[in-house]
Structure 1
């Protein structure tokens, strides 16, 4: 889908762009009233912040971008591979490189398989967002939400990098984040950055492999970078909102029966379009009622992180979680 989205940007010429990983790809609807139309969801499964930067650059070159939503998560900054496609940069430069890539034998082989199985409906809508049935089928195959969560949480963060470096290149992902900020300032683009409302169990899986404080430090790093780049351009800092907090939505009860469905989440990492639309409405109104989200800046980041530590102790028992998931 990475290649298709490159071509779709050229075709649609979006004014609004959504960047992020599969969390944003399934949960953020470009048809929402939050976006200036036409809007396009350029998020990709397993996308890194480097790949997100390339899609932004491409959209700026091919259309008049006025609004960008970046749904940032820690994995995008610490993935095993800087890009899921080798020499992905060339695909943005010339369609010839895209066609050459598609003629690669392995890609051609995969394409033939797809054609032979074309009775399967498309995973994506025309504007780039993923259809829900993909995750619904996974949950059914795994025996329900709870079993899916257990399976994912045991391994999700196990092989990822640290210190905001891509594991394969050891290059800094924070530099790519800075470039995104600078591109938006230079091109008069309104940028919103959010941490998405994944289930609170996800952060316990993170804590097991990476330490919860690492996640909090990452959030603070991004807030400070946003302020520094704003100062450099003598501009107001771009809005950055934390929806990865503790509340009734992110702590949604997990049904143990395989035929019961969750309202807001598929599993710990991915949340549903219903919760994604609530996020967009909060951004539109600036109203983050019932602790649904918190707008961050240099003045409140430390107190916000302290509240997250306190709320974590209120909402989840870490010892019980580790025993349940990791057998410890």
Structure 2
């Protein structure tokens, strides 16, 4: 995780930043004057923890959207490195090219082999361009499906980590069949005969998320969002401006608590106090037991029963009224 001096702070995290500045000031003073300032520094560090907790207890939907995009937040490759060992990344869709926005491969999770697939954002400007900001092209979704079919062939559970502002909307993506690729993934994931667990670790936007988001269990980390459109895009459509993005975030009901209430996800996974960007090890440590217990639970079921329940689960989603004939 970033060192304290390299941390980035969101607007509503300013009280935390002020405390870090005070701590850094005391450390410099102690070094120059050779004074023992351990106790006041420790008290400020305790206040940092308290402030982190206080801030995240009353976050608005828009603030949770901002947290899900925090530049220090762990991405898919970071979770893979913290959750598993012996990760072997696999490349290419065997058709067009390798999409760097979608990563995946076999890994060892607590002694068992699993296939882990997810969208990957970049950690700096150059990497963001390479990863296309986590927005996959059709070949990314076709690569993901190829890896899922490979996992099914060898009877290995599949874990998908979702973190994307959406599938890439460029002309070339549409020319190569973006809509078909996502639709094909949804169709095929419904029928996979191995356990499939999906976790939204950051942004879960539109078809870009659904392209790897069909599973026996779907979880969200507590400071993430999941909906058909981003608040900014929603605001631009309804109000012809991004200025109403906070209102749009509120109306979209996109946070984990709403998604669980609507029956669209199966559970909410807690994050470290203040968000996953504060402690990568703890973030992965909180997620790992959910994955292991869910895999063990799903492996007890007959494959055909698993597929049937998965289909029923998604068929029952949504609210509607039937008018009398």
TM range (shorter): 0.3 to 0.5
Which structure is richer in relative contact order (CA contacts within 8 A, separation 6 or more)? 1
The structure number with the bigger radius of gyration is 2
